Amino acid sequence: MVQSSRNIGVRGRAKRLLRACVKHHNLLLMMLPALATFLIFRYGAMFGLAMAFVDYKAKIGQSFLQNVMGSEWVGLKYFEQFLTSLNGTQVLRNTLLISLYKIVFCFPAPILLAIMLNELQSIRFKKVVQTVTYLPHFISWVVLAGILRMVLSPDYGVSVAIANLFGTTPVNFIGNKSYFRGLLVVTEIWREVGWNSIIYLAALTGIDPGLYEAAIIDGAGRFKRIIHVTIPCLVPTIVIMLILRTGTIMDAGFDQVYNMYNNSVRSVAEIIDTYIYEKGIIDTQYSYTTAIGLFKSVIGLGMVLLTDRIAKSLGQQGVA
């Protein structure tokens, strides 16, 4: 009897789903190209992960599938090779340090900017500030790296004029190991702080004005209203964005690092993505770099699940 009722319930849900699909077939057809693209390039490409477990050898005249199936199975050899090699340890350390620096310093920056913009009384000045802070996001790292090299050059850059003004020796920020990671953080904030503040500004518009009015009646000043009204209302958005950000902890910014680093700072600047590019694209070590990429993705997934569980244990909604 119970099984029969379950079957009836399943059939009922299937009929409702079918009717909904027929009713909204125009919307489904519009979604079909995007869905097909996602399936082909996201799920279809996952077959290539098999290269991480074989000694992939590309042979002329054979398809990719034939090459993968005909390659020798090596199991976890390349994962072990990466984690035990000196270069792998150094690259992993650099990636984690740079990413942690960006989380600590870059993640709070758009939150602070959004709060400050929300407190501005002049709408015109607010729009000017928003425009000025948004614009750097639309400049590629290739262009920005070239500008930085010109500005910070110890031979002819603006830093030379500033150093001469104060009677000091010009510092080669881009070629100095002590300054390079800090330079990455500063330039990341400068380029992305305005763009990343958009979602927090949107969250601020959803705060009930009655909460501010009640706080004013209770005698709360502007700073106390920020502490006791604005920030608590932003916490759910901040938590979700932090969970998503920790999922990319193994992404330290390929475009930025690759266009800015040089041999002088390689030991502190080379990250997993630049290492994969050099070993995979240039040296054609496909199996080795596929294993590194898979390792990176698994760590990212684990961080998302871990931070989501921590957020839920602290009473927050999380992402799932």
Residue 252 backbone phi and psi in degrees, to 5: -95, 5
Look at the block and give the residue holding tokens 């709060």: 115
Report, as an integer, the average pLDDT of 220-234.
86
3-state secondary structure at position 121: coil
One domain for residues 149 and 269: yes
One domain for residues 60 and 91: no
One domain for residues 213 and 309: yes
Number of domains the chain contains = 2
One domain for residues 113 and 140: yes
Last residue of a domain, one of 45, 73, 101: 73
Residue 33: in which H helix or E strand, if any? helix 25-38
Is pLDDT of 6 > 60? Answer: no
* pLDDT category of residue 2 using cuts at 50, 70 and 90: very low
How is residue 300 written in tokens?
């990212």
CA-to-CA distance for 164 and 221, rounded, in angstroms? 46
CA-to-CA distance for 264 and 175, rounded, in angstroms? 6
Q: Which pLDDT belongs to residue 192?
A: 92
Residue in 250, 215, 240, 249 with CA at minimum distance from that of residue 229: 215
Is pLDDT of 74 > 70? Answer: yes
One domain for residues 86 and 60: no
CA-to-CA distance for 267 and 59, rounded, in angstroms? 35
The answer to whether residue 318 sits within a structural domain is no
Report, as an integer, the average pLDDT of 67-86.
85
One domain for residues 63 and 117: no
Last residue of a domain, one of 54, 73, 92: 73
CA dist list (Å): 262 to 157, 214, 258, 265, 284: 18, 56, 8, 6, 22
Last residue of a domain, one of 28, 43, 73: 73
Burial letters 51-71, b for 16+ CB under 10 A, else e: bbbbebeeeeeeeeeebbeeb
Chain center to CA of 210: 35
CA-to-CA distance for 46 and 17, rounded, in angstroms? 29
Long-range contact pairs involving 214-222 (C-beta distance under 8 Å, separation at least 24): 222/119
Is pLDDT of 215 > 80? Answer: yes
**Average pLDDT, rounded, for the chain:** 85
Q: Report the amino acid identity of residue 163.
A: A
**Quick one: CA dihedral 56, 249, 142, 127, positive or negative?**
positive
pLDDT digits (tens, 9 = 90+) for 182-214: 999 999 999 999 999 999 999 988 888 888 888
Give the dihedral of Cα atoms 85, 86, 90, 93; nearest 10 deg: 50
Whole-model pTM over 0.85: no
Report, as an integer, the average pLDDT of 87-111.
92
One domain for residues 211 and 96: yes
Q: Which pLDDT belongs to residue 8?
A: 57
3-state secondary structure at position 58: coil
Q: Which domain holds residue 31?
A: 2-73
- CB-based contact 32:24 (threshold 8 Å): no
One domain for residues 45 and 120: no
Angle separating helix axes 177-196 and 123-134, nearest 10 degrees: 130
Report, as an integer, the average pLDDT of 240-254.
88
Report, as an integer, the average pLDDT of 153-168.
74
